[in-house]
Chain A
Amino acid sequence: MLVIGRDVIDAIIEHARRDHPWEACGIVAGAIGSDRPDRWIPMDNVEQSTTFYRFDPTEQLRVWRELDDRDEEPIVIYHSHTETEAVPSRTDVAIAGYPDAHYLLVTTRDQDKDEFRSFRIRPVAEGAREKAVDEEPVRVIDASVDPAAVTTYMFGQVQTNVDYECPA
């Protein structure tokens, strides 16, 4: 199961809608081993495509080094599909290289409906190249219950128009 804060998922969906019709992509980092995606990091899609995404390799190294410095790892790796369902394609599965991450798919094919689904994409056995895809439920937790529970962070594309529900 993927447990993720409401403000993080909202930031991801807004990122996907903002970049539509290009695919949007990014990660959510969290403390190593915690399985808690706390820190939202949108990444540039260097392909700038409606059907393909790729992290810029130099930017990826910078982010991964930062994760290392902070004892974090990519808990969630997300990207959007702009016309198809929120399910990993054969390409997504073939390239997926982070067996410990939750692969979160968002689709922006419908303007009025938010659709996101989460998957694990892992080698079928240790060292195998063939991968298994397993969908998992997503539990969205409400950050307004505990405002300190989930934090967000912006990197790379710096659009700062994320809406937070501010309790009075």
Chain B
Amino acid sequence: MAIEVRIPTILRSHTGGAKAVEGRGDTIADLLADLDSRHAGLRARLVTDEGALHRFVNVYINDEDVRFLGALDAKLNDGDTVTILPAVAGGALAFAAAAALAGNR
């Protein structure tokens, strides 16, 4: 089952510069494991050590944010397009948020 995955600029070092790659999987979790087997290090940028989707990465199946579809358990169908976009966020508050991020890396 072929899924097209759109890769943002900042992650293209893991795909040899490719802005789209193909993968397979019944769920986002399966897909990321599949991608990681060919594009080493990609999964680690998207999934935390605790096995959750990274807080500041947005993943979409077609037009929907996977956080509404079960996050890593979101189901994929043949022909779906998965898009990865780094979140745009930040702000003046430094320490608490930065500490939370250190936990998420």
Interface residues in chain A, defined as those with a beta carbon under 8 Å from any beta carbon in chain B: 23, 25, 27, 43, 47, 49, 51-55, 57-58, 60-61, 64, 77, 79, 81-84, 88-92, 94-100, 123, 126-127, 129
Contact = CB atoms under 8 A, between A and B. Distances in A.
Contacts of B94: 89-91
Contacts of B10: 97-99, 123
Nearest to A77: B88
A51 B92 contact: yes
B61 to A, nearest CB: 11
Nearest to A82: B92
> Top 7 nearest A-B pairs by Cβ distance?
A97-B86, A127-B13, A52-B91, A92-B90, A54-B89, A51-B93, A57-B58
Interface string B58-71: 10100111010000
Interface centre among B63, B92, B94 (most CB of A within 10 A): B92
A127 B89 contact: no
B14 interface: yes
A55 to B, nearest CB: 4
A76 B89 CA distance: 14
B85 A89 contact: no
A53 B91 contact: yes
B8 interface: yes
Contact of B98 (A47, A60, A91, A97): A91
A29 to B, nearest CB: 13
Given A127-B14, A129-B105, A97 B88 contact: yes
Nearest to B102: A94
Given A23-B92, A52-B97, A126-B13, 17 more contacts: A27-B88, A51-B92, A54-B87, A54-B88, A57-B65, A58-B65, A60-B88, A61-B83, A81-B91, A81-B92, A82-B92, A89-B90, A91-B91, A91-B97, A94-B101, A95-B101, A96-B90
Contacts of B90: 52-53, 79, 88-89, 91-92, 94-96
Contacts of B95: 90
